[in-house]
């Protein structure tokens, strides 16, 4: 199975980052208070997960030899599985299982007040179910809104996007903060 970015998706990602209505922001330390513990959800992808976690710890000012202060959930597709209509869920209503895990962590198991959702591209699980990057952006907007509705108000939900450009761009892998209000407007314009 192909596990690289199509030219169509590459063009969309570039527009989301550099276009007139860009909503992807390069991830840096300005997005985080130092050393704040987080509930983290990202894909289990064995080729990209380490880089996602490494970068996430670095921008939160956690040393490479320290615990990452993450209550972490890794499953195929990461937060895309939390979308009630996600094609990545083979079993009906299984998004509820994944959502319940996040809610339990935020409400019952920890006192952590930040939930960081990382989706990524190319994602083998998304490819397996025929998704393109536009569908992934659509899903993540739905997921964020839904989690914000379900979780107590003290919890902040934020979305991040990791891209492995491979040979398409120098630098290979990049991480972005996703401004979901911007993503929603961008998706609306591209209907
Ligand atoms: Zn993946």
Using the mean position of ligand 1's atoms as its centre, give its distance from the Cα of residue 97 in Å.
Answer: 18
CB 174 within 8 Å of CB 162: yes
Q: Does residue 60 fall inside a structural domain?
A: yes
Average pLDDT of the residues in 106-133? 96
Using the mean position of ligand 1's atoms as its centre, give its distance from the Cα of residue 124 in Å.
Answer: 5
Q: Does residue 185 fall inside a structural domain?
A: no
How does residue 2 score in pLDDT terms, banded at 50, 70 and 90?
A: low
Q: Does residue 2 fall inside a structural domain?
A: no
| Statement: residue 141 has pLDDT above 90 | yes
Using the mean position of ligand 1's atoms as its centre, give its distance from the Cα of residue 173 in Å.
Answer: 14
Both tokens of 122, joined, read 């190319």
The DSSP H or E segment spanning 107 is none
CATH at 73: 3.40.1050
Q: What is the pLDDT of residue 190?
A: 77
pLDDT 10s digits, 34-90: 999 999 999 999 999 999 999 999 999 999 899 999 999 999 999 999 999 999 999
Q: Does residue 42 fall inside a structural domain?
A: yes
Task: Please tell me the distance from the alpha carbon of residue 134 to that of residue 107, in angstroms, as a whole number.
Answer: 31
| Statement: residue 115 has pLDDT above 70 | yes
Using the mean position of ligand 1's atoms as its centre, give its distance from the Cα of residue 159 in Å.
Answer: 15
Task: Please tell me the distance from the alpha carbon of residue 186 to that of residue 148, in angstroms, as a whole number.
Answer: 21
Q: Does residue 118 fall inside a structural domain?
A: yes
Task: Please tell me the distance from the alpha carbon of residue 59 to that of residue 189, in angstroms, as a whole number.
Answer: 32
Q: In Å, how far from its chain's centre is CA 56? A: 12
152: containing domain: 7-30+37-180
Using the mean position of ligand 1's atoms as its centre, give its distance from the Cα of residue 49 in Å.
Answer: 9
Q: Does residue 92 fall inside a structural domain?
A: yes
Using the mean position of ligand 1's atoms as its centre, give its distance from the Cα of residue 166 in Å.
Answer: 15
pLDDT 10s digits, 6-46: 999 999 999 999 999 999 999 999 999 999 999 999 999 99
**Cα separations in angstroms, 87 against 37, 76, 129, 136:** 31, 12, 6, 10
Using the mean position of ligand 1's atoms as its centre, give its distance from the Cα of residue 71 in Å.
Answer: 19
Average pLDDT of the residues in 109-130? 97
User: For 172, which DSSP code?
Assistant: S
E-strand stretches of the chain: 24-26, 38-42, 70-74, 114-121, 156-164, 173-178
Q: What is the pLDDT of residue 191?
A: 72
Number of domains in the chain: 1
Residues with Cβ within 5 Å of ion ligand 1?
43, 45, 123, 125
Q: Does residue 164 fall inside a structural domain?
A: yes
pTM higher than the cut 0.75: yes
Q: Does residue 187 fall inside a structural domain?
A: no
Both tokens of 188, joined, read 């609306």
Mean pLDDT score of the chain: 95
Q: What is the pLDDT of residue 171?
A: 84
Using the mean position of ligand 1's atoms as its centre, give its distance from the Cα of residue 181 in Å.
Answer: 23
């Amino acid at each position: 199975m192909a596990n690289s970015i199509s030219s169509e998706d590459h063009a969309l990602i570039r527009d989301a980052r550099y276009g007139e209505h860009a909503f992807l922001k390069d991830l840096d330390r300005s997005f985080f208070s130092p050393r704040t513990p987080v509930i983290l959800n990202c894909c289990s992808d064995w080729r990209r997960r380490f880089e996602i976690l490494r970068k996430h710890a670095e921008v939160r000012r956690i040393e490479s030899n320290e615990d990452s202060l993450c209550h972490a959930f890794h499953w195929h597709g990461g937060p895309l599985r939390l979308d009630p209509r996600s094609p990545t869920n083979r079993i009906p209503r299984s998004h509820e299982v994944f959502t319940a895990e996040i809610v339990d962590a935020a409400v019952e198991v920890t006192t952590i007040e930040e939930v960081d959702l990382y989706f990524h591209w190319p994602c083998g699980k998304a490819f397996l179910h025929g998704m393109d990057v536009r569908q992934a952006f659509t899903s993540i907007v739905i997921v964020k809104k839904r989690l914000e509705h379900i979780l107590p108000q003290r919890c902040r939900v934020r979305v991040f996007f990791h891209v492995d450009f491979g040979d398409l761009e120098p630098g290979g892998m990049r991480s972005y903060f996703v401004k979901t209000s911007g993503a929603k407007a961008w998706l609306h314009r591209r209907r």
